[in-house]
Structure 1
Amino acid sequence: MTTFSSGSAGEPPGSTLVAAMVTELEPLYGRIDVPGAPSATPADFAPPGGDFLIGTADGAVVCCGGIKRLEDEACEIKRMYVVPEARGRGIAQELLVALEDRARDLGYGIARLDTGPKQPHAERMYRAAGYTEIGNFNANPFASFWGEKRL
């Protein structure tokens, strides 16, 4: 079972996880933390409109993900990442549920997210979790699927 707590994307272990995610995606898409990409800064994931969750299991940090304010009722789930050695155990689904629960706690009624064409497993997970395809809400040049779910 994974335990989730609020942390910062700007300091370890959050910053370490985000850096690992960006590095892992670089061979697929190039750098994703560049000008022109949607903002995903530690400030985006800070209260009062955002949060950054860090997950631990068996005493080890295994995942992270952020919530970013978009508009009054909508937020964006970003920077979801599970460390390679913890994959295949359902942690990504647990993280998504935890992020949705936290978004509800923050008062959001809609969650949006995106993923790229070289991550079909992520798109399948999002669709299975109830995200329906919508238009390109965030002008993400790396994405091919944009999804939305009523919370």
Structure 2
Amino acid sequence: MTVESIEVRHVEVRDPAAEPLLRDLHLEYHSRYGPNEELSRYADEEFSPPDGAFLILVEDGETVAGGAFRRHDQTTAELKRIWTHPAHRRRGLGLVVVRELEREAVRRGYRRIHLTTGPRQPEAARLYLAAGYRPLFDLDADPETIGPLPFEKLLEGPAPCETAAGGYDVRAAEVQEA
């Protein structure tokens, strides 16, 4: 993957290009947790400016990854809906999504990011640890005994994988995504 081959698009939740992300997230959550209402928990508007953002990564016209944030409190954004298409995992795209969401959160005035991931999503927990998020739980505990796994990160300056030109060094962003 080259940086030039990936386009970052800020879209609305109901944009047709976001549909693969939402459809696959629904299937993923259902396969890991059974019937649930996670994707309908928040109004679509919460992921729109000025308080939120929803973005996708597009390669050769295909939505390959994406994610969003919403306002958690006055200075904190909450990451949600981080996703990479199964055929494009292990390419570092999840980290590119997280870094781009962090950059946008800083532009919107947020100074901290909070997120939770499910206990049956170890690849997501690894992604957030690799991205410099601090776990707010005991890493040695059985995740099933904890429930949602909370993380946080203070936002300061450019993200480590960001290049001087504002692009991404994907080699530095490579993470073992499942």
- Asked whether the two chains share a fold, i.e. TM above 0.5, the reply is yes
Structure 1 regions of 5+ residues with no counterpart?
136-141
CA distance in 2, matches of 1:10, 1:110: 27
Aligned residues: 143
Change (3 A) 1:29 1:146: same
CA distance in 2, matches of 1:64, 1:112: 17
CA distance in 2, matches of 1:88, 1:25: 19
Instruction: Give the structure 2 partner of residue 4 of structure 1.
Output: 8
Q: How does 1:63-142 map to 2 (within 5 A)?
A: 63-134=65-136
Deviation of 1:20 after TM superposition, in Å, equals 1.6
Structure 1 stretch displaced more, 104-113 or 4-13:
4-13
- Structure (1 or 2) with the greater helix fraction: 2
Change (3 A) 1:59 1:38: closer
Partners of 1:22 and 1:31 within 8 A in 2 = no
Give the fraction of aligned pairs with identical amino acids, expressed as a percent: 31
Aligned partner (choices 47, 56, 59) of residue 54 of structure 1: 56
Provide, for residues 112-145 of structure 1, a one-character-per-residue CA deviation record: whole Å limited to 9, x for no partner. Answer: 111111111110110121111227xxxxxx9431
Provide, for residues 42-89 of structure 1, a one-character-per-residue CA deviation record: whole Å limited to 9, x for no partner. Answer: 111011100100111233211111110011100100001111111111
CA distance in 2, matches of 1:112, 1:38: 19
Q: TM-score, length-normalised on structure 2?
A: 0.73
Change (3 A) 1:128 1:38: farther
CA distance in 1, matches of 2:15, 2:43: 12
Partners of 1:68 and 1:76 within 8 A in 2 = yes
Structure 1 stretch displaced more, 37-46 or 71-80:
37-46
Q: TM-score, length-normalised on structure 1?
A: 0.85
* Structure number with bigger Rg: 2
Structure 2 regions of 5+ residues with no counterpart?
138-145, 156-178
